[in-house]
Amino acid sequence: PLFIPLAQSDMKDYKHLDIRNTVGNVPMEWYQDYPHIGYNLDGKKIFKPIRNKDELDEFLDKMENPDYWRTVHDKTTASDIRLTDEQVDLVHRLQKGQFGDVNFNEYEPSVDFFTNEVMIHPVTNRPQDKRSFIPSLIEKEKVSKLVHAIKMGWIKPRKPKETTPQYYDLWAKEDPNAILGRHKMHVPAPKMRLPGHEESYNPPPEYLLTEEERLVWEQQDAEDRKLPFLPQKHSCLRAVPAFSRFIHERFERCLDLYLCPRQRKMRVNVNPEDLIPKLPKPKDLQPFPTTMSLVYRGHTSLVRSISASPTGQWLVSGSDDFTVRFWEVNTGRCMKTLEVGGAVKSVAWNPNPAVCLVAVCFERTVLLLNPSLGDRLVVSSTDQLITAYEPPEEDKEQAVTWALSEGLEHNMGHRLTLTHPKAVKQVVWHGKGDYLSSVMPDNSSNLQVLIHQVSKRRTQNPFRKNKGLVQCVSFHPLRPYFFVATQRYVRVYNLIKQELTKKLMTNCKWISSMAIHPGGDNLICGSYDCRLAWFDLDLSTKPYKMLRHHKKALRGVAYHRNYPLFASGADDGSVIVCHGMVYNDLLQNPLIVPVKVLKGHQITHDLGVLDVTFHPTQPWVFSSGADTTIRLFT
Amino acid sequence: MGGLQKKKYERGSATNYITRNKARKKLQLSLADFRRLCILKGIYPHEPKHKKKVNKGSTAPRTFYLLKDIRFLLHEPIVRKFREYKVFVRKLRKAYGKAEWTAVERLRDNKPGYKLDHIIKERYPTFIDALRDIDDALSMCFLFSTFARTGKCHVQTITLCRRLTVEWMNYVVTSRSLRKVFISIKGIYYQAEVLGQLITWLVPYQFAHDHPTDVDYRVMATFTEMYTTLFGFINFRLYQTLNLVYPPKKLSALSASLARVVATAEEEEENQLDQFPADGEDLENMEAREKEQKEQEAQNRLFEGLKFFLNREVPRESLAFILRCFGAEVSWDKSLCIGGTYNVTDETITHQIVDRPDIDKQYINRYYIQPQWVFDSVNAKMRLPVEDYFLGVTLPPHLSPFVEEKDGDYVPPEKLKLMALQRGEKHVQEEEEDDDDDDDDEEYNDEVDDEDLTEEKNLKKMEDQRSQGKTLAVKVTPGKVKPWETGSVGNKVRLEKEEKAEEKRLAIMMMKKKEKYLYDKIMFGKKRTTREANKLAAKRKAHEDTSKAEKKQKKAKKQ
C-alpha cells in the first residue's frame, strides 16, 4: 500500500509522505526473507512492493519512461525516486569535481589570522616564565642517556656512504699463481649440454616422435626419458609458445651446481682397434687345417672317441651304437665294423708303428684288437707278440683278468680281453706301445687308474690313495712321468721314483680332457667351463695362458706330433685350431695364436664335438661329433 | 710385536670427508645460511671413490663435502655478515613491534650489507677463469631480466640483470663476436667467442612466465646475486678491452652502436696475424689459422651493407642483436619501441623480416623474408638463397649448429645439402638421382641375399636326402669347398675381406679379459649409435615416401 509509482506522484505528496526507513545503514539482504523491509518513523512496518520489477519491466521502463535516466532506486525503501532538477545539477557538479554549493567561492583571498610580520610589541604583556631561563632537566636526562649510549658504543654514528664504484677492474693485478690449495681438488661443473637438431623449433621430420614413441615417452618416468622434452614442429617463429619448464630447468641446473656430488671420471679414450693384440698373421703360420675335406658317415649314434694309426693310413672310431669302425683316411672307406658288447667310451691306436693293436674300452672291458689292416708283416708280428707270452711261474693275483680270445672272436680281430672290476672310461697307450693305462672313475676307492703291460700281461695299481675323481690320464711322451687329471688338478707322478713331482692348479671347475705336448714340457687342459689352460711345466704350476675361445664346454683337446698345432673341440660344434709354438730356448715363452675356427658338426642333444685328434704326419685334424659323423679338416 | 692397534676410519679417505650435517654444525649455520654460503663460495659435495670407507662402513646415502672446503669456509668474513644481518632483522622486527619508528629508521640506515668482490676474485683468480664460467650467469641473468615485478625477486635485481644483459649484448655487437644462433623450442641459443672462449647462453622467448610453485626462488636469487656481481666485473673488463667507458650511458634499444667507428677501424688492425717465417708443421698450422681467420672475417661482414626492417611480429631484440652483430643496419616501427632509425617507407631497405603469411603493401625493391633466414645464414656463414624463406613458403628445417657429426652419425640430408652449398656446388635435381641409386643398391643387396639363401637351401636338401637314404649307411662325402676359395678372379676382393675379418675375429679371441670387456663396451656403444642413425634414416625415408605418394596423388587428382 505504501508503494507509490513515482511518475504519478507529485513532489508535495512525496514530501508529505515521509517513508524514510529507520533501520539504519544495514545490509538490506537481512530482510530478504521478510514481507517488510523496515520501519517508518511511527514504528510501522514498511512493506515490500507486491511485485518486483523484472528485466522486462525494466526494459519497458527504459524505453517508455522519459525520466528513466534520472530515476534512482532506493534500496532502503525499495522504491524508485525521480531526481529533481536541482539534484541532477548537484550530481553534475560533483562529477566535475566542483563544490556542491553553487555559491561557494573557492578562490577567495586568504587572510592570515596572525600577521606574519614581526611586531615590536608582544601580543600579551605576560612576563616570561622562570623555566624558560633554566635548562630543562628532562632534556638533560635525555642527552645524558644519549651520551652514555654513545660512550658505551650502543649508538653508532651513521655509516659513511660507500664511495667505491660497484664494479671496477677486479682482475687488474691478476696472479695466476695465487691458486688456493683447494683448487687442486676442484672439479669444474660440466657445461650445459648443447642442443641437438631435435630441440629445434622446426626440426627435420625424422626427429619428431611417432605416435607410438610419443606414447612411450609419456608413460616413462621423467628420469628414464632419453629426451627431457617432446620435439615439436612449428610452421613459423610466431607460432612458438613459451617453454613451460624453462624456470624449472634453470632451477634444476642451480641445484646441480651446488648440490650434486662431483667426481672426476676418467673417460677411456682409446681406439678399439688398438686394443686388439698384434698377432702374427695366420697366413704366415701355415700349414694348418682350413677346410673340411671328408665326412665319414656310418655310425648311428654319437661317436665318442677316435684315434689315428701311427702310419696315418687308418682311423678308428668308437661310438655309442656298440660298434668300432675302421676307416681308411684318404678315401674315407669304412674298412671294418666290429660289434662290441657296449657303448664304446674310448679307443686308442698303439703308437708303436711296429705293432698293430687297438685298445677299445666299453663298460668294464678293455679289448685289444688287431684290425689286420696295413702291412701284413706287422699284423702277423703283432699276433706273434701276443701268442709269445709265457705265463710266469708264480701266478699273482691281479686286479683284472687277462683273457686270450679264440675262435670266432679271434677271427673278428679280438686278441686280449681285460675285464675290469668297474666301468672303464679311458684307455691310453704309452709312447713305446707296451704299456697301457685305463681309467675307472670312482670317487670312493683308490682303484681308479690301472697300468697294464701287454707283453707280460701284468697289471698294476700305481696309487694307494684316492685323490679325487680321476678324469683322464696320460703318459709323458719321453720320460717316465705319468699325468693324472682329477676334477680340478693335474698331478704329475714320477713312475720310477714313485712320487708326486708336481701338482698343477688349473683354475677350472671340471677338467674334461688333457693333452701333452710331444716335447713333454707343455700341457693343455680342456674343461667343462669353456676354458683351455696351457701349462708350461718349467714355468709354474699355474696356467701360462687361459684361453676362453669356446662358447660351451670343451670335450677334447689334442696336440700335433710334428707341427706346432693344437686343437680343441667343444659343445658349440666348433673345432679351434691354434698355433702353439714351443721354443727350445727356455727364456722364450710359447707363442699361442688361434689360426682357424673349423665348423661343420651339428649340435645334437646339446652336444657338439666330442673328440679331436691330429693326423700323425699331416697337418690334418679329425673330429668326431654327436651328429654321428667324423670329419676330416685339411 | 707390539704397538697400539690401529683404529679403523681414523686415517685416509675417511678423514678427508665430512657429511653435510656435521659441516653445518661445525660452521654453526642454519641450513639456509649454509646453502647460501655454499652457493656463493662455490662449494659442492664430492663423491668419494670408496663410499663405504668414507661412510665408516655404512652404505647409507649421504652427501660428503671435502673437509678442506669446510675448513676453508670457517674463516670466511661473509659468515659474520650473515649473523649481523640476522641480528639486524631481529632488531628491526622488535622495533616494528614496539612502533618505535625512529629506531626503525636508524636501524634501516645502518642496514648491514655485504660485498662479494673478494669471493669472485678468490673463485676466479684470473679473468679467463671467470669468462670460462659465465655461461650459467648469462642464462640466469637473461631469465631474470624477463621477469615481471611479481615479487618473486627484488625489482632492483631485475633491473640490474636487464642492464647487465644489455651491456653484454652491446659488447658482443661491438666486438662482433657472435658465432652461432639457434631457435629451439626452449628459447634462442647464442654462442659467442669472447677472447678465445666459446660462451653459450639461452634466452627465453618474450612471454610472461607462469611461475611454478615447486621452485625455490631463494636459491635462484642467491645464484643471481653471485652471477650479477661476476657479470658486472666481467662486463667492466670487457669494455675496458674495447677502450670504452663502463658503465655506458643509455643502452636500451640496441640501435645505436657503442663506438661504431672505433670498432670497425680497430678490429681490422687487431685481426691481422703477425707473419713469422716458419717451417714444416708450423707453416701448415699457420696457414690453417690464417684461413680460419679469413673465414671469420668474412662471417663478421655477413650482412654488411644490408638494410633490414623488422616487422611488428618478429622478436625485435634478438633479431636486432644478431643482425647488428654481423654489420647490418636495422630499424623497426617507431610505435613499437624507441630507437627505430628509419621507416618502412625507406626505399633503401633491402630486406624486410616478416613473420606473417602475407603482407598488404609490398615494395618491389626489397626482399620479404621470414626470420629463420637470418638464423640459418649466420649458422651457414653465408647468405643463403632467399627463395626458400619468402612469405608463406614452407620453411626448410632449422638445424642445430652445435651438432658436429662424427663418422657413423646420422647426418640429415638438409645438412648435406648445406655443406655442398658451402663448398660452392650447385644442388639441382640431385635428390631424385640419389634416390634412384639407393633403390638400385638395395635391390642388388636383396638379390645377393636371395642367392645365398637358395644355395643354403639346396645344400640342406641334399644333406637331408643323404641322411634319409638308409641304404647308404656308410658314406663319405667330400666337404664343401666354397666357390670363392677356388680363386676365381671376381671374388678375390671378397676373399681378402673375409680373411681380414677372420683374422680380426681370431685376434679378438686372444684379448685379455679386461681389454675384451672394454672393447665390447666400445663396440656396443658404436653399434648403438649406428642403430640410432639407421633408425633416423629409415624414418626419414618413410616420411619422404609418404610425402612423395601424396604429391603423386595430388598430381593425379589435378589431371
Per-residue pLDDT of B93-133, as tens digits, reads 999 999 999 889 988 888 888 899 999 988 888 898 899 99
Mean pLDDT taken over chain A: 85
Contact A336, A325 (CB under 8 A): yes
Contact B182, B400 (CB under 8 A): yes
pLDDT of residue A137: 92
Chain A residues with beta carbon closer than 8 angstroms to that of B483? none
Is the pLDDT confidence value at B399 over 70?
Answer: yes
Among A238, A246, A247, A253, CA closest to A199: A246
pLDDT of residue B477: 66
Out of A437-451, A612-626, B242-256, B279-293, pick the least confident.
B242-256
Per-residue pLDDT of B223-248, as tens digits, reads 999 999 999 999 999 999 988 888 88
pLDDT of residue A450: 87
Nearest CB to B400 within list A176, A195, A206: A195
Segment B326-331 shows an average pLDDT of 88
Among B43, B64, B35, B131, CA closest to A186: B43
DSSP labels, A127-174:
PPPSTTTSPPHHHHHHHHHHHHHHHHTSS-PPPPPP-S-SS--TTTT-
Mean pLDDT taken over chain B: 82
Beta-bridge partners for B331:
B309
- Burial bucket for residue A162 (CB in 10 Å: 0-12, 13-18, 19+): exposed
Segment A265-270 shows an average pLDDT of 82
pLDDT of residue A391: 76
Chain A residues with beta carbon closer than 8 angstroms to that of B507? 276-279
Segment A64-85 shows an average pLDDT of 87
pLDDT of residue B458: 56
Per-residue pLDDT of B134-159, as tens digits, reads 999 999 999 999 998 887 888 999 99
What span, in angstroms and rounded, lies between the C-alpha atoms of B285 and B278? 10
Residues with Cβ within 8 Å of A245's Cβ and at least 6 positions away in sequence, in order, are A228, A229
- Do A257 and B44 lie within an 8 Å CB cutoff? yes
Residues of chain A with pLDDT > 70, as a percent, come to: 95
- Do B185 and A200 lie within an 8 Å CB cutoff? yes
Chain A residues with beta carbon closer than 8 angstroms to that of B130? 171
Grid cell, residue A429, equals: 697307450
Query: Which of A145, A163, A179, A201 to mutate to test binding with chain B, by most B CBs within 10 Å of its CB?
Result: A201
Give the position of cell 704366415.
A284
Among B519, B30, B267, CA closest to A272: B519
Give the position of cell 684361453.
A547
Per-residue pLDDT of B258-301, as tens digits, reads 444 333 333 433 444 444 444 556 677 878 888 888 888 888 88
pLDDT of residue B134: 93
Nearest CA in chain A to B120: A170
Q: Helix or strand or coil: residue A562?
A: coil
pLDDT of residue A92: 93
pLDDT of residue B486: 53
Q: In Å, how far is A203's CA from the nearest CA of chain B?
A: 5
Chain A, chain B: beta-carbon pairs less than 8 Å apart: 298
Nearest CB to B46 within list A206, A249, A263: A263
Nearest CB to A197 within list B143, B247, B399: B399
What span, in angstroms and rounded, lies between the C-alpha atoms of A247 and A249? 5
Chain B residues with beta carbon closer than 8 angstroms to that of A543? none
- Do A300 and B204 lie within an 8 Å CB cutoff? no
Query: Which of A169, A237, A264, A622 to mutate to test binding with chain B, by most B CBs within 10 Å of its CB?
Result: A237
- Do A600 and B479 lie within an 8 Å CB cutoff? yes
Q: Helix or strand or coil: residue A558?
A: strand
Nearest CB to B187 within list A243, A262, A597: A243
Beta-bridge partners for A632:
A294, A622
Per-residue pLDDT of A549-586, as tens digits, reads 888 899 999 999 888 889 999 998 889 999 888 888 87
Q: Helix or strand or coil: residue B331?
A: strand
Nearest CB to A277 within list B72, B186, B511: B511
Beta-bridge partners for B189:
B182, B202
Segment B530-554 shows an average pLDDT of 91
Per-residue pLDDT of B366-394, as tens digits, reads 899 999 999 999 999 888 888 889 988 88
ipTM of the complex: 0.83
Segment B327-331 shows an average pLDDT of 88
Out of B26-35, B163-172, B399-408, pick the least confident.
B399-408
CA atoms within 13 A on the CB side of B553: 6
What span, in angstroms and rounded, lies between the C-alpha atoms of B66 and B223? 21
Q: In Å, how far is B288's CA from the nearest CA of chain A?
A: 26
Query: Which of A186, A236, A315, A576 to mutate to test binding with chain B, by most B CBs within 10 Å of its CB?
Result: A236
- Do B246 and A331 lie within an 8 Å CB cutoff? no
Helical (H) or strand (E) element with A251: helix A246-259
Nearest CB to A170 within list B120, B133, B473: B120
Q: Which of A295-299, B165-169, B482-486 has the highest mean pLDDT?
A: B165-169
Sheet holding A334-339, edge to edge: A303-308, A314-319, A323-328, A334-339
Is the backbone peptide bond immediately before B247 cis, with ω within 30 degrees of 0?
yes
Segment A184-212 shows an average pLDDT of 89
Is the pLDDT confidence value at A1 over 60?
Answer: no
DSSP labels, A56-93:
HHHHHHHHH-TTGGGEEEETTTTEEEEPPHHHHHHHHH
Chain A residues with beta carbon closer than 8 angstroms to that of B220? 250-251, 254
Per-residue pLDDT of A100-159, as tens digits, reads 888 888 888 888 887 888 888 887 888 889 988 998 999 999 999 999 999 998 877 777
**Which pLDDT band holds residue B257 (cuts at 50, 70, 90)?**
very low
